[in-house]
Amino acid sequence: MRDEEVAAGSICLDGSLEIKLTKVGENSTIGQIQTLIAKAQMTKPQKQKLADKAAGILTFVALAAAIISLLVWSVFLGKPLAFAFTLAITTLVIACPHALGMAIPAVTAISTKLAVKNGIFIKDLAKMELVKDINYVIFDKTGTLTKGEFGLTNIVPLSNEADILKIAGSLEQNSSHVIGQAFTRKAKEENIQLEKIDDFENFAGKGVGGKISDQIYWLGNKILMKEKGILLNKAEEENKKLFNSRKSLVFLANESVLIGIFALADKIKPESFSIVNKLHKLGIKVAMLTGDNKQVAEGVAKELKIDTYFAEVLPGDKYRKVKELQGQGHRVMMVGDGVNDAPALTQADVGVAIGAGTDVAVEAGDIVLTRNNPEDISRLIVLGRKIYRKMLENLIWALGYNVVAIPAAAGVLAPWGFFLRPEIGALIMSLSTVIVVANALTLKKTSLEI
């Protein structure tokens, strides 16, 4: 239609289009992505912001302590001015906020390198602090827990109409969806010549439709059939075994009746069994999102021992399921790889995109798994917990050191004959920074395996 917007990357299936570019340069999709990446590079963990504030406050505390020390020792206690100045200088030297300033950056630098070595790219460092609190991980089924390589296992014609595989393959010949590709792949294997499609329509999360030789056909799931007024009752009675199987069913209908049923199966990734088991060991529950029917979802959930599953979920409703779990008080991590997962990845407390997935999903995620391996999720959670612990240890040391060192430098321990000279103060200050960095470096030898 005239004056309608066309998204970059759209495919014109039939005819020709004249398009006017309205967003170029920094306003284009690529330009906006570059802006988002630049923003991600400037992110800081919450603990870093806390440390920065504490370091700023410490500067004034040290200055105040030095002035008070100078006045107390010179004016009130009558000590020589040189002695008072020595204590004041020692106070300023020992209170240098190097350790506090290095407490978090040292940890994030080491942890970022460790993450990359384990196939994890952290886009937003602030989100890593939330990882330790995650108690529910949601996986998108197809392509994440399963291989996403559907194969046709059953073809059931229900009428004397022309070859139903030829019709289905023709309808899906321009599809990029894994289920759609299963039809075209099968048709190619059997050397079937596909027909030209007119008035093609795509129904997100439901199926497709179009005309072949002026005859309308619909190919999709139960939801699409219901919307088009196609009855499935009789077919379900005659094919109970197929309907009760743990396979994905796709229905083919003309404008009035059902003419065929296709059953497809997808294989579960071997590593999916391992990740569910590992997450349970970490005390984390697992949920699964899928657009498949309840039988398929239940079968996969039982096989993998998944705690919760959501079946027949439309692409636009995925984020609502994330919101539903959050409404129950859970901290939710969403793992997905498709365009349809982007809203859910954004809604989750932590969104994890599979690097082998779409650019939109990768951009929506806070963290990206560079390997197409769900097992990296357990490593991510272990890493998140270890990072938080190291940050806490460094902050406690840096703050604790100043709480003890500043009064000591100011001469509080003088009644016991203990004084700190400026050079000793400088040595102690340097040592505190070394300890913070050394503690962060212990992360290098940390194992993320369970």
- Catalytic residue numbers read 140
H or E stretch including 215? strand 215-220
The DSSP letter of residue 10 is -
Measured CA to CA, the distance from residue 337 to residue 369 in angstroms comes to 10
Beta bridge partners of 207: 203, 220
List of E strands, 27-178: 120-122, 136-140, 151-157
CA–CA distance from 354 to each of 127, 175, 302, 371 (Å)? 17, 21, 24, 7
Q: What residues pair up with 285 in beta bridges, in sequence order? A: 136
Please say whether the beta carbons of 359 and 165 come within 8 A: no
Angle among Cα 105, 107, 113 to the nearest 5 degrees reads 100
Q: 413 by DSSP, 3-state: which?
A: coil
| Unique residue bearing structure tokens 């960095």 | 437
| CA–CA separation, 203 and 207 (whole Å) | 5
Which residue type sits at 45? P
